[in-house]
C-alpha cells in the first residue's frame, strides 16, 4: 500500500458528505466517519482510485464490489452504532464498511468467504490502523458462534432469506440490518430482537447488492 491521503482527497470527501446529506442521511457520526475514512485506499485498480469519491459502487476484484457510499451510510445509520458495540459484519469485501464502523468506536468482527478479498481487506484495515476490526475467512451464513452474542449484525450482500444462525447470535435488544431478496433488487430490513423468541421487522428502501453465497472460496 503506497497511496497517500492528500488535501485533495479530503476535499473530495467533504463534497461526498454533502451529497450523502442531501440524499437524507442525518446521523452526524455516520457523516463524520465518511469524511474521515479514505475510501480511495480501498480501490485496487487505478481507474477507480480516481473515482472513489463519486457516489457509486465499484469493482474490488473476484466479481465483487465496494458498496456505494450512500448505501454504506444508509445501513450504518440504521445500525444506530453506540460506542463499544460488538458488531458482526457479513461480507468484508474491501473492508471499507468495517472501517466506517470502527471509526464510530465499535468493535467489529467481519467475515468474508473469498480468500483473496479477506487477505487484501485485512492488509488495508491494519495499514489504516483500525485494530478494533478482526477479520475472518469463512461463511457468513454460519456467523461467528465463538464471538457471539453481538449487539448488532450487518449483512452487506443480498440474502435470499434471513439466516437463522445470525438471529441466534444476536443479543436480546440487538438489531440485524440485512438486504433481503433474490431478484434484481433487494429490500433493506431491520430486525430488532425483543426477547429470545420475538423479532420486530421493519422494512426500508430497495438496493442492489451482490448475492450472499454459501460456503468458502479459495
The angle that helices 69-79 and 7-22 make with each other, rounded to 10 degrees, is 60
Of 97, 106, 124, 132, the one binding ligand SAH by CB under 6 A: 97
- In this chain, which of 52, 66, 81, 125 binds ligand SAH, going by CB under 6 A? 66
Q: Tell me the number of residues near ligand SAH by CB under 6 A.
A: 23
In the complex, least distance from residue 130 CB atom to ligand SAH, rounded to whole angstroms: 13
Judged by CB under 6 A, which stretch of 135-143, 167-175, 183-191, 194-202 contacts ligand SAH?
Answer: 135-143
Catalytic site positions: 67
Strand ranges in 72-197 using DSSP code E only, listed in sequence order? 86-90, 107-112, 133-137, 150-155, 170-180, 186-195
C-alpha separations of 138 from 59, 80, 90, 102, 165 in Å: 21, 26, 10, 21, 14
Considering only the stretches 32-40, 77-85, 133-141, 175-183, report the one whose residues sit in contact with ligand SAH under the rule CB under 6 A.
133-141
Rounded CA gap, 18 and 35, in Å?
10
Based on CB atoms, which residue is closest to ligand SAH, 92 or 174?
A: 92
Burial category of 20 from C-beta neighbours within 10 Å (exposed 0-12, middle 13-18, buried 19 and up): buried
List residues binding ligand SAH (CB under 6 A): 64-67, 90-91, 93-94, 96-97, 111-114, 117, 139-141, 156-157, 210, 212-213
Amino acid at each position: 500500500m503506497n497511496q497517500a491521503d492528500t488535501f485533495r482527497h479530503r476535499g473530495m470527501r467533504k463534497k461526498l458528505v454533502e451529497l450523502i446529506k442531501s440524499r437524507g442521511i442525518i446521523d452526524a457520526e455516520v457523516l463524520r466517519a465518511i469524511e474521515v475514512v479514505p475510501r480511495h485506499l480501498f480501490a485496487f485498480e487505478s481507474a477507480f482510485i480516481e473515482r472513489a469519491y463519486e457516489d457509486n459502487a465499484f469493482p474490488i476484484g473476484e466479481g465483487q464490489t465496494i458498496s456505494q457510499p450512500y448505501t454504506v451510510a444508509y445501513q450504518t445509520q440504521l445500525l444506530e452504532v453506540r460506542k463499544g458495540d460488538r458488531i458482526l459484519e457479513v461480507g468484508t469485501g474491501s473492508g471499507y464498511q468495517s472501517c466506517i464502523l470502527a471509526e464510530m468506536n465499535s468493535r467489529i468482527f467481519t467475515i468474508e468467504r473469498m480468500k483473496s478479498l479477506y487477505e487484501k481487506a485485512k492488509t488495508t484495515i491494519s495499514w489504516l490502523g483500525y485494530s478494533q476490526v478482526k477479520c475472518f475467512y469463512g461463511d457468513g451464513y454460519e456467523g461467528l458462534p465463538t464471538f457471539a452474542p453481538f449487539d448488532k449484525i450487518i449483512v452487506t450482500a443480498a440474502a435470499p432469506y434471513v439466516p437463522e444462525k445470525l438471529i441466534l447470535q444476536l443479543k436480546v435488544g440487538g438489531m440485524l440490518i440485512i438486504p433481503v431478496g433474490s431478484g434484481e433488487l433487494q429490500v433493506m430490513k431491520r430486525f430488532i430482537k425483543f426477547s429470545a423468541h420475538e423479532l420486530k421487522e421493519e422494512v426500508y428502501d430497495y438496493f442492489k447488492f451482490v448475492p450472499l453465497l454459501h460456503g468458502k472460496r479459495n
